[in-house]
Amino acid sequence: MMCLSISGTTGSYSAASHSRSAHTLTTAKKLVAPGITEAEAIDRAKAGDSECFELLYGMHKRRVYSLCLRMVGNTAEAEDLTQEAFLQLYRKIATFRGESAFSTWLHRLAVNVVLMHLRKKGLPEVSLEETLEPQQEDGPKKDIGARDNVLAGSIDRVNLERAIESLPPGYRIIFVLHDIEGYEHNEIAEMMGCSIGNSKSQLHKARMKLRDLLKTSRAEKALRR
């Protein structure tokens, strides 16, 4: 078995840039090496070509590592989980049928690896049975599962990354899955074993917590000036 090395980066948050919809380039046209497309590398890797598997690893390792890091908030765990995700890929790549983008399929595999790890650790999470907070009857109704333009437009990426890491595990996971990775609430509910309403509720509370953390960070920065 090949030895995989991790040299990742946290990247920066952007609901648009990190959404799966941003990966719409045709797999057949993506070059992973001179004269080799991603589709060709996948076919060769499925046939047991280790060099082509290494090419795929090199192409996707940073985003997989970034996903793992955001979900667990620990660099050592993220490195281990990235290794495990690619080991799972090595074992399961033959099952890839091309029904979705390869990156989408791989990231779903990585998410499952992380969620299984968190379940085994038994980390305390915010209850998945929390209900939606009541809305003011005299105000316009707001879809709390919709895009948050305040967070999406944040220019203080470093503090936002730190704030995401400080979220309770339950909030952080759903925020990462929805606002960064682009999963829909019905997909998150299926993965997490909760209802769509609970997914929306935790996302809403995660966003409110992030806003509070960013306000506190800005206030502390202003006091130091």
DSSP state at residue 99: S
pLDDT digits (tens, 9 = 90+) for 142-151: 455 555 555 5
Return the exposure string of 183-203: e unless at least 16 CB atoms fall within 10 Å of the residue's CB, then b. Answer: bebebbbebbebeeebbbbbb
Distances (CA, A) of 184 to 153, 180, 196: 20, 11, 9
Q: Are 63 and 134 in contact (CB under 8 A)?
A: no
| Tokens 């305390």, residue located | 124
> Is the per-residue pLDDT at 70 higher than 80?
yes
pLDDT of residue 151: 57
Q: What is the mean pLDDT of residues 161-182?
A: 88
pLDDT of residue 25: 46
The answer to which of 20-29, 67-76, 185-194, 206-215 has the lowest mean pLDDT is 20-29
Q: Which two tokens stand for residue 36?
A: 């080799």
Distance between CA atoms of residues 74 and 80, nearest Å: 10
Lowest mean pLDDT among 10-24, 148-162, 177-191: 10-24
- Banded pLDDT at 38 (limits 50, 70, 90): very high
User: Residue 157 pLDDT more than 90?
Assistant: no
pLDDT at 78: 95
DSSP structure class, residue 180: I
Does 29 have pLDDT greater than 70?
no
Q: What domains are defined for the chain? A: 20-121 (1.10.1740.10), 149-224 (1.10.10.10)
Q: Percentage of the chain with pLDDT > 70?
A: 68
pLDDT of the residue at 9: 38
- The mean of the pLDDT values for the chain is 77
- Tens of pLDDT, residue by residue over 114-134, are 999 988 887 554 444 444 343
Instruction: Give the integer Cα–Cα distance in Å for 142 and 98.
Output: 37
In the chain, the amino acid numbered 162 is R
Q: Answer with the residue of higher pLDDT: 33 or 195.
A: 195
Q: What is the pLDDT of residue 223?
A: 63
The confidence band for 19, taking pLDDT boundaries of 50, 70 and 90, is very low
